[in-house]
């Protein structure tokens, strides 16, 4: 994901790649998908990634997707109300 890319766009592209892999009988477990997703976030997400992984025994792609969507929504709402945010989505 490059800086400034919308989270929805990044998730859509990622899910498309996962579906293409499934179509050729390559299965990637949800936890592996989640780790891959976190690894490809821009540097501005380092704190998000560290916080997300801290103290977790397992994660899923749904967990990561939901957290990213929540962060994007919060950033959008903060931009509408004039509050500063740490992450640009």
24 — pLDDT class (breaks 50, 70, 90) = very high
- pLDDT tens profile 37-75: 888 888 888 888 888 888 778 888 888 888 888 888 888
Share of the chain above pLDDT 70, in %: 89
Residue 21: other Cβ atoms inside 10 A: 13
What pLDDT shows up at residue 84?
Answer: 57
What pLDDT shows up at residue 18?
Answer: 92
Distances (CA, A) of 28 to 38, 42, 62: 15, 22, 14
Query: CB of 63 within 8 A of CB of 71?
Result: no
């Amino acid at each position: 994901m490059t800086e400034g890319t919308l989270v929805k766009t990044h998730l859509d592209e990622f899910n498309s790649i996962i579906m293409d892999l499934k179509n050729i009988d390559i299965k990637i477990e949800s936890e592996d998908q989640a780790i891959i997703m976190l690894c490809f976030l821009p540097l501005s997400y380092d704190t998000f990634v560290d916080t997300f992984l801290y103290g977790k025994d397992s994660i899923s792609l749904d967990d990561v997707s939901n957290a990213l969507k929540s962060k994007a929504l919060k950033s959008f709402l903060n931009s509408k109300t004039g509050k500063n945010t740490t992450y640009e989505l």
